[in-house]
Amino acid sequence: MGCAAAHHLPIVPPVIRAILHLLNDQPLNAELLHEPKPSDAAVVCTNLRTVDGKKPVFIDFSDSTFIFPMASVRFVEVPTGAGEGDRARAAADAAAGSANETEDLEIDEDFLRRVREA
């Protein structure tokens, strides 16, 4: 009986890694508690991060549960795959790709100078 008591682990519900595309805002990586349905009024998620993996500036506690009304969500991107591991890798690859795209952008100082002078 003592061994059975040692094997009691908390049951953690599986999460779905997704990318929330909000209206007039940058996409956010999130873990959904369940896959959204067309009848849902809100998206419930945890572990909210920007696509580059940082905590968004508008949240106070990163361990909170977040509820976004569907009216503020353009769409929810759930990477497809055979399993949760594939979904997690696809979300990480998408986040890394977005971060690499922003690194490639350079500011053309000559162009900015001409705009300021005009």
Class of domain 16-92: mainly beta
3-state helix, strand, coil in the chain (%, to 5): 30, 25, 40
Question: Tell me: the pLDDT tens digits for 38-68?
Answer: 899 999 999 999 988 889 998 888 779 999 9
Query: What are the structural domain ranges in the chain?
Result: 16-92
Question: Measuring CA to CA, how many Å separate 103 from each of 2, 20, 53, 106?
Answer: 55, 22, 15, 8
Give the number of other CB atoms < 10 A from CB of residue 33.
Answer: 14
Q: Please list, in sequence order, all residues whose beta carbon lies within 8 angstroms of the beta carbon of residue 44, skipping any fewer than 6 positions away.
A: 32, 33, 34, 65, 66, 67
Q: Given pLDDT bands bounded at 50, 70 and 90, which one contains residue 96?
A: low
Amino acid 72 reads S
